[in-house]
Structure 1
Amino acid sequence: MKLISQEFLQNIAPQLDLLNTLGGGVAQPQVRVQKREQGVVIRVSAPSVRPETFHVVLNNNRLDIFAEYRHSPEDELVAPLFVHTFQLPRELDLTRIEAEHEGGELRVRIPYQDPSNRQREIDIRYN
């Protein structure tokens, strides 16, 4: 006998996250940083958070990943569900960051810079 339906749980989970946030708490997504041969992958798993509420913002070498709650898309009242900030090292190529959301998980891929671009001699202009 099923007392609570899956649909009910999917509808109530964001409401609980909002109540927790408004009460002073925050949603607790699972965040993993994986270093790979080609670069870094940041994985944010927050199954109760709708994909369209995620934001990934790059400011210099700081990457902010956050989600916000709005009761409806036109609402002006916004509550933050979570915020994670990453200071990115220089060896990452910040011009080629990619983000995708699939299966309840946000994946942000940041490749390493080409080693040949890391160090180079600068030509000197002579006047």
Structure 2
Amino acid sequence: MRVLQQAIRVYTERDRWETVIKFYEVLQGVQCERQVHIPETNVDAAKVGGVLILGADGDVLDELRLVNAVYYVDSLDESFAWLEMNGSEVIHAPQAVTGGRNLTARHPDGLVVEYFEPAKKKETV
């Protein structure tokens, strides 16, 4: 298991979506790398440098705010095994999501992290 990247998670109401993305672009001096709508949760996500911005409405935001960060990993299965062997509580087991697979775990110190393995890009010949 290797952590490829990590990002803090930031939450915003949909009506502030573009403003928040622009703020973090200017703050970090980088462009938004990717925006995606996650249909299974009706959440919008944008990756800007070391920040993952999640946009939603009302109660959905309250539930999302329980997670503090995201670790992008090369193997979710190895991460799952390592977390269980090292005292973390797996809150949500590995599952398929838009763009890959994820799980949510509470570290022994209480930090709640989403572990995300991006889907492998299909090679064309």
Instruction: Say yes or no: TM over 0.5.
Output: no
- Structure 1 or 2: larger strand share? 2
TM-score by length of 1: 0.23
TM-score by length of 2: 0.24
